[in-house]
Amino acid sequence: MERLKQIILAKGKVLSNTVLKVDAFLNHQIDPSLMEEIGKEFADRFADAGITKILTLESSGIAPAVMAGLVLKVPVVFARKRKSLTLTEHLYSAQVHSFTKQETNEISISQSFITQDDTVLIIDDFLANGQAVFGLIDILKQAKATIAGIGIVIEKSFQDGGKSIRNAGYRVESLARIAHLSDGNVTFLEEEN
Ligand code: G4P
Ligand code: NA
Ligand code: NA
Q: For residues 43 and 121, give the distance between their C-alpha atoms in angstroms, rounded to a whole number.
A: 10
Query: What are the structural domains, with CATH classification, of the chain?
Result: 35-177 (3.40.50.2020)
Distance of CA 32 to the CA centre of its chain: 17
Q: Which protein residues touch ligand 1 with a CB less than 6 Å away? A: 19-22, 27, 59-61, 98-101, 125-132, 156, 161
Distance of CA 21 from the midpoint of ligand 2 (Å): 9
User: 62 C-alpha vs ligand 3 centroid, how far in Å?
Assistant: 9
pLDDT score recorded for residue 120: 99
What's phi and psi for 54, nearest 5 deg? -115, 140
Q: Which residues are annotated as a binding site?
A: 20, 27, 128-132, 156
pLDDT per residue over 161-187, tens digit each?
999 999 999 999 999 999 999 999 999
- ipTM entry: 0.95
107 CA → ligand 3 middle, Å: 12
Number of H helices, E strands in the chain: 5, 10
pLDDT in tens, 9-30: 999 999 999 999 999 999 999 9
| Nearest-CA residue for atom 8 of ligand 1 | 100
Using CB atoms within 10 Å of the CB of residue 3, give its burial: 0 to 12 exposed, 13 to 18 middle, 19+ buried: middle
